[in-house]
Amino acid sequence: QLQLVESGGGLVQPGGSLRLSCKASGFTINYHTFAWFRQAPGKEREGVSCISGVDDLTYYADSFKGRFAISRDSAASTVYLQMNSLKPEDTAVYYCALTTGTNFCPGYVPTLYDYWGQGTQVTVSS
């Protein structure tokens, strides 16, 4: 019954912005830790950002600090990823994920996360 569905991807020019959404159903998101990952063709799945379930603290992989922002709207059962100053190398499928193993952010090993959305494609190109 627990389900995550991403949306908001699309085609954007370099330097542009997108806001991705991760809509949750079947549970209350308040005390759960969520993370965003991305995966480009032929590459490993890469952690982007995490928001802690215990205190809503946010974390970012170094390459995304200052460009991306994760947030939570509990009333809407949605976690967001605001993406600014996009670069062609940001092109990837972006996934949201939830871990039941901790209420903190445990890092970006994909196997630590129990539930995944289907992904949304982001393409950054002129």
User: SS3 of 13, please?
Assistant: coil
CA-to-CA distance for 121 and 94, rounded, in angstroms? Answer: 6
> What is the model's pLDDT at position 27?
81
CA-to-CA distance for 118 and 40, rounded, in angstroms? Answer: 14
Backbone φ and ψ of 79, nearest 5°: -110, 140
pLDDT tens-digit series, residues 38-89:
999 999 999 999 999 999 999 999 989 899 999 999 889 999 999 999 999 9
User: SS3 of 16, please?
Assistant: coil
Backbone φ and ψ of 80, nearest 5°: -120, 155
Token pair belonging to 46: 């890469």
